[in-house]
């Protein structure tokens, strides 16, 4: 079965309380655990203990990201494959990374990002009963996306990072933006039959472009934009349409400067689907389909 989906991200923030207030009251995630330097949060419909960890740090950026695997044996198999690729790994027992954490295989990807493969994260339920549930719990606040969707990372060698994630970790390439001289500028990779669970864009190694949570439709993006404006959150782009993935998105920044997205739409991606290629000349339309251009700041501003 291998990797099931994106499990979580761990982001740095210099003012933990301010970030907790933003992620619980504006984004509307649910706090599930807390220690002096870390707070664990989840989307309301997620069964697992967390999809977001806020970590106190003097700066912003991505500390780690995690993918959920189906079986404990997947961790053994991937450990062997990753080490055969010349990358050292570390095993962490369930609970070692906080009370809710599962058994973890940790390594640093060629892109410079610290990646955890996780099995058996604590299950806490989705706030709905298992018998005759309503469609949504009462009393949610803010945007309240039901679940995490994808993560967008930066690295110097997008071709190399993409090859590692496809060859060693069994991701499938759905779309790519290719430069005039034949290099991959952006790649979109999936495990969930959606257009992307993970994407890479050219930039500094280990840099973080954004994490996206799912909302159910375009109207929810409009409501998310209303809430961002109301709370004085800096909106970066959208709501708009992506050419690549065919999704709709709204980008904004958390108080530390980490970019967030609310995302919806897209298509079903069968495993035998041929990847779509966008040319460098059409990169603007691939990213912002209506605008047809993407400013350099959007491509270079990161945490």
By C-beta, is 175 or 261 nearer to Fe ion? Answer: 261
Question: If binding is defined by CB under 5 A, does position 175 make contact with Fe ion?
Answer: no
Residue 242 bears catalytic tag: yes
By C-beta, is 152 or 252 nearer to Fe ion? Answer: 152
Tokens of 99: 């009370």
Q: Which of 8, 113, 144, 150 is catalytic?
A: 150
Q: To the nearest whole angstrom, how small is the minimum distance from the Cβ of residue 212 to Fe ion? A: 4
Residue 261 bears catalytic tag: yes
Beta sheet of 184-190, edge-to-edge order: 235-241, 247-253, 259-265, 207-214, 147-155, 198-202, 184-190, 172-178, 276-279
Q: To the nearest whole angstrom, how small is the minimum distance from the Cβ of residue 152 to Fe ion? A: 5
C-alpha–C-alpha distance, residues 166 and 179, integer Å: 20
Q: Which of 196, 213, 220, 263 is catalytic?
A: 196
By C-beta, is 172 or 210 nearer to Fe ion? Answer: 210
Helix/strand/coil for 31 = strand
**Residues in contact with Fe ion, total (CB under 5 A)?**
3
Residue 210 bears catalytic tag: yes
Q: To the nearest whole angstrom, how small is the minimum distance from the Cβ of residue 270 to Fe ion? A: 21
Beta strands in the chain (DSSP E): 3-13, 30-34, 38-42, 52-56, 61-69, 89-92, 103-108, 114-119, 147-155, 172-178, 184-190, 198-202, 207-214, 235-241, 247-253, 259-265, 276-279
Question: If binding is defined by CB under 5 A, does position 261 make contact with Fe ion?
Answer: yes
Give the chain's end-to-end CA distance (angstroms, integer). 33
Residue 193 bears catalytic tag: no
Q: Which stretch binds Fe ion (CB under 5 A): 118-126, 165-173, 207-215, 218-226?
A: 207-215
Residue 251 bears catalytic tag: yes
DSSP state of 123: B
Residue of 196, 181, 298 whose CA lies nearest to 244: 196
Q: Which stretch binds Fe ion (CB under 5 A): 17-25, 95-103, 163-171, 261-269?
A: 261-269
- The residue written with tokens 């009963």 in the block is 129
Q: Which of 8, 50, 209, 210 is catalytic?
A: 210
By C-beta, is 116 or 261 nearer to Fe ion? Answer: 261
By C-beta, is 103 or 261 nearer to Fe ion? Answer: 261
Q: Which of residues 142-171 bind Fe ion (CB under 5 A)?
A: 152
Question: If binding is defined by CB under 5 A, does position 212 make contact with Fe ion?
Answer: yes
Q: Which of 113, 251, 263, 302 is catalytic?
A: 251
Cis amide linkage into residue 239, ω under 30° from 0: yes
Residue of 183, 163, 148 whose CA lies nearest to 109: 163
Catalytic residues, which ones?
A: 150, 196, 210, 242, 251, 261
Site residues for Fe ion per CB under 5 A: 152, 212, 261
């Amino acid at each position: 079965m291998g990797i099931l989906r994106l499990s979580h991200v761990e982001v740095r923030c210099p003012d933990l309380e301010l970030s907790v207030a933003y992620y619980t009251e504006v984004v509307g995630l649910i706090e599930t655990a807390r220690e002096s330097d870390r707070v664990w949060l989840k989307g309301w419909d997620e069964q697992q203990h967390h999809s977001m960890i806020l970590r106190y740090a003097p700066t912003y950026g991505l500390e780690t990201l995690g993918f959920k695997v189906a079986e404990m044996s997947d961790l053994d198999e991937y450990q062997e494959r990753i080490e055969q690729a010349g990358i050292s790994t570390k095993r962490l027992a369930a609970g070692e990374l906080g009370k809710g954490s599962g058994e973890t295989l940790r390594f640093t990807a060629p892109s410079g990002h610290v990646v955890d493969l996780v099995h058996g994260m604590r299950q806490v339920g989705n706030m709905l009963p298992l018998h005759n549930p309503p469609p949504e719990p009462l009393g949610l606040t803010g945007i309240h996306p039901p679940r995490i969707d994808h993560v967008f990372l930066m690295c110097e060698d997008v071709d190399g990072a993409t090859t590692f994630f496809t060859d060693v970790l069994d991701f499938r390439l759905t779309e790519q933006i290719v430069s005039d001289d034949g290099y991959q500028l952006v790649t979109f990779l999936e495990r969930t039959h959606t257009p992307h669970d993970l994407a890479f864009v050219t930039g500094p190694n280990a840099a973080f472009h954004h994490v996206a949570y799912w909302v159910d439709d375009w109207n929810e993006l409009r409501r998310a934009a209303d809430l961002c404006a109301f709370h004085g959150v800096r909106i970066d782009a959208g709501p708009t349409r992506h050419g690549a993935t065919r999704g709709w998105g709204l980008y904004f920044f958390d108080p530390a400067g980490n970019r967030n997205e609310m995302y919806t739409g897209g298509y079903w991606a069968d495993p035998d689907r041929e990847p779509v290629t966008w040319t460098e000349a059409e990169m603007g339309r691939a990213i912002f389909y209506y605008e047809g251009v993407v400013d350099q700041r959007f491509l270079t501003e990161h945490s």
